Amino acid sequence: MPEQIPAEQIPEEQRAAVYRAVDTVVTETIPVPAIGVGEVLVRIHTCGICGTDLKKIHTGSHGAPRVFGHEMAGTVAAVGAGVTSFKPGNRVVAFHHIPCGVCFYCRKQTFAQCEMYKKVGTTAGLGEASGGGFAEYIRVMDWIVGDHVSAGVAPQTCGLIHIPDDIPFEQAAFIEPVNTCFKAIKLLNLAADDTVLVIGQGSIGILLAALARQSGATVLTSDLYPERHAIAAQFGLDHPIDARGDVVAAAKAATDGRGVDAALVAVGADSLIATAMEAIRAGGRVMLFASTQHGTAAFDPAAVCMDEKTLMGSYSASVAIQQEGIELVFAGYRSEALDLTRLISHRFSLEQAAAAIQLASHPVADSMKIVLQP
């Protein structure tokens, strides 16, 4: 049974990996956040390091101090007044963003553009709310919990999720990133006779490719490292392309010279947009998944107009597919077809957070998903 945590055992202080300045994350002691009506305190077991965390740390886009981390799973430590769906000891995953459900963008199902969605509903308590998963404890705010719903928030969009006892925390911590990847795959509307190219085989690239494969499509994967292709093969991805060679030529060779039906760019390199556009057939689609920094990129506009190629993007999670994505994670672990714990290459304690972020920022051949485990 899940471990029960009596309220008197909750400490006043906790350890956290605190963002202090550009390129600077320091493990230090901060207060455990207090919770209010409708809120929940969660003790973190596992939190993945996401590329968006790294972008914020290295670009200075967000002020300091604060605690990042949002791919998180843990145990309920305490609940506030009005909370009826959770109790201490429950195993949970917390989404850090949940939309209002009623605004223009929510009605159009473009949830990531909702103003409430852009607010962060989980925090370690230091500075502006920023996820907080790089700490021992997080406060989950009422509109995420969903029991005591703030004005204007649709109650069906709660973002605190129960984890079944047979699902490990490490698997459950992938629920949010799987949702983001599944959203991109859904937008592509793949058919069983499609051929798809996924550029980049880090943990996100493998997730995208594995989910694309579930549509019945043939999936080609491109990466610089044979070690990553070997991991991808564990998920049934058996059409590797060496990215040191001619990826476009390989994609066309696999499709009778046409080009692939869809390409997903899972690497934040603008130069690869042109590669993807060349690799798709006339009428094909390119999905940008890692282009999260504003800038300019070169591509042939006639390829969009005359060749009828589509350049599109997908960002963050969607509540419209939230339950379906959760079931993918749970069922995938039980069947072993989508055992995502195999994507975790390195596990670090909070005391080793600086080293974890350094490795995540400068990946090597054998590094995949890197997690912090307080």
Mean pLDDT of 348-363: 98
**122-123 and 91-94 strand pairing:** unpaired
Burial class (CB in 10 A: 0-12, 13-18, 19+), 20: middle
pLDDT of residue 158: 87
Q: Which amino acid is at 55?
A: K
Taken as a whole, the chain contains a residue count of 374
Q: Is the pLDDT of residue 4 over 50?
A: no
Type and span of the H or E element at 197: strand 195-199
Domains of the chain: 7-173+339-372 (3.90.180.10), 179-313 (3.40.50.720)
Distance CA 353, CA 374 (A): 10
Distance CA 94, CA 84 (A): 16
Distance CA 287, CA 269 (A): 13
Q: Is the pLDDT of residue 373 over 60?
A: yes
pLDDT of residue 147: 79
What is the share, in percent, of the chain residues with pLDDT greater than 90? Answer: 93
Q: Is the peptide bond before 65 cis (omega within 30 degrees of 0)?
A: yes
Distance CA 273, CA 84 (A): 48
Distance CA 61, CA 13 (A): 28
Mean pLDDT of 282-286: 98
**Where is pLDDT greater, at 321 or 3?**
321
Q: Which two tokens stand for residue 235?
A: 């998920």
DSSP state of 373: -
DSSP state of 34: P
pTM higher than 0.75 for the full model?
yes
Distance CA 87, CA 83 (A): 8
**Where is pLDDT greater, at 100 or 126?**
126
pLDDT of residue 45: 98
Residue 291 to residues 175, 281, 294, 329: CA-CA distances in angstroms? 21, 22, 8, 25
Mean of pLDDT over the chain: 94
* SS3 state at 111: helix
Distance CA 372, CA 46 (A): 6
Q: Which two tokens stand for residue 23?
A: 């390129």
Band of the pLDDT at 3, cuts 50, 70, 90? very low
What is the share, in percent, of the chain residues with pLDDT greater than 70? Answer: 95
Band of the pLDDT at 149, cuts 50, 70, 90? low
DSSP 49-103: PPHHHHHHHHH--S-SSB----EEEEEEEEE-TT--S--TT-EEEE-S----SSS
27-63 pLDDT per residue, tens: 999 999 999 999 999 999 999 999 999 999 999 999 9
Distance CA 177, CA 179 (A): 5
Mean pLDDT of 273-278: 97
pLDDT of residue 283: 98
